[in-house]
Amino acid sequence: MQRRNFLVGLGAAAIAKPLLNSTELTAKDKGDNIIKAPALKKGDTIGVIAPGSAVNSPDDYLLAEELADYLGLKIRYAKNVKSGSGYKTRSIAERVDDIHEMFSDKNIAGVFSLRGGYGSGQLLDYIAFGIIKKNPKVFLGYSDITALHIAINKITGLVTFHGPVMLSAFSELTAESLKKAIFSNKAIGTLANSNEKEPVRRHHHQRTIRSGKAKGRLIGGNLSLITSLMGTRYEINTRNKILFIEDVGEPPYRIDRMLTQLKTAGKLQKAAGILIGKCEDCKPGLSASTWDLSLGEVLDNIFADINVPVFYGLTFGHTKDQFTLPEGIMAEIDADAHTLSLIENACI
């Protein structure tokens, strides 16, 4: 039976056709023409999808359901999440079908990503973005889900939420930040790392790279995914935006390579301000034999001649403490105070 399901999945993938001629995919960047989803409320049903890697362990599903219980939400899995083809990777057709199903179902109030992993970028040419635009809902995830955030924001204007997946660790800060973002139609306000020490050093260090303040619409996500979209119709638009970027486990030379690509393409210079998230385990490692700069030195070199406010270290993305950032709303960065202020409501 498993082999038969796998073959069916392969067949579905084979007949899936990219929507390359769709007007949705040739639409100009929506800029300030954003749309917002209704804020979630206790008792709502959320749809769970896995746009990247599949989840197989029953214990992981218990973790997802534990989160839904904590948030006071009901949960429904898209039909291919638990029983699609493949083991770690469902077919493109199955994963796209799950996205369409969850956004088009009127009984689903929000769409949460079960995990990140790999593969969300494969879906972009197959998504009917008109379904998402006509059915605005809270959409949550990070890491590999960055590809969907950027494409959805660019094509539909929907405010989406760069925040924890359902299998994230959920510290108190992570949980509270998420609730404040998705259950309210008020502006979230100012985000800043805790100043707690243990006992001498702060838990989360921050550093000003370029001084100043700036305002703009918030856009960004995982650096690896952002660079993977360069040269495509989904390429990130940073003009007059507050760009936030983060990554994990990348040695400094790879961070340098990706930032150099964005800089050469003019993406860093066009931004109003830039926020770099705390990068866990971004150390030279084996690459030290050929590259001897630290992450901090890479950042100083890259931004030395870019005259916009930049600071490093706010906890979003691949960190235990994780702020939820709404993509598309107006925000203000203060690189000297190490704060990001979300000055516009993300939900209605």
Residues 103 and 228 in one domain: no
**Residue-level pLDDT at 325:** 98
Residues 72 and 207 in one domain: no
Answer whether residue 182 is part of any domain.
no
Residues 163 and 198 in one domain: no
CATH number of the structural domain spanning residue 330: 3.50.30.60
Residues 220 and 133 in one domain: no
Residues 214 and 287 in one domain: yes
Residues 110 and 194 in one domain: no
**Residue-level pLDDT at 282:** 79
Answer whether residue 132 is part of any domain.
yes
Annotated catalytic, 113? no
Answer whether residue 162 is part of any domain.
yes
CATH number of the structural domain spanning residue 155: 3.40.50.10740
Residue ending a domain, among 168, 202, 217, is 168
**Residue-level pLDDT at 6:** 33
Residues 159 and 196 in one domain: no
Annotated catalytic, 162? no
Range of the domain at 162: 2-168
Residues 86 and 209 in one domain: no
Residue ending a domain, among 168, 200, 215, is 168
**Residue-level pLDDT at 283:** 80
Q: Which of 101, 318, 327, 332 is catalytic?
A: 318
**Residue-level pLDDT at 96:** 98
Residues 34 and 84 in one domain: yes
Answer whether residue 176 is part of any domain.
no
Q: Which of 53, 143, 168, 224 is catalytic?
A: 143
Number of domains in the chain: 2
Answer whether residue 178 is part of any domain.
no
Q: Which of 119, 158, 154 is nearest to 139 (CA)?
A: 158
Residues 314 and 193 in one domain: yes
**Residue-level pLDDT at 4:** 36
Residues 247 and 327 in one domain: yes
Q: Which of 246, 250, 327, 332 is catalytic?
A: 246
Answer whether residue 184 is part of any domain.
no
Answer whether residue 251 is part of any domain.
yes
145 token code pair: 């889900």
Residues 141 and 273 in one domain: no
Answer whether residue 125 is part of any domain.
yes
Annotated catalytic, 318? yes
Q: In this structure, are residues 121 and 225 in contact, taking their beta carbons and an 8 Å threshold?
A: yes
Residuewise pLDDT in 10s, the chain (348 residues): 333 333 334 444 444 667 644 444 444 444 458 999 999 999 999 999 999 999 999 999 999 999 999 999 999 999 999 999 988 889 999 999 999 999 999 999 999 999 999 999 999 999 999 999 999 999 999 999 999 999 999 999 999 999 999 999 999 999 999 999 999 999 999 999 987 777 777 778 899 999 999 999 999 999 999 999 999 999 999 999 999 999 998 999 999 999 999 999 999 999 999 999 998 877 877 666 677 889 999 999 999 999 999 999 999 999 999 999 999 999 999 999 999 999 999 999
Q: In this structure, are residues 188 and 167 in contact, taking their beta carbons and an 8 Å threshold?
A: no
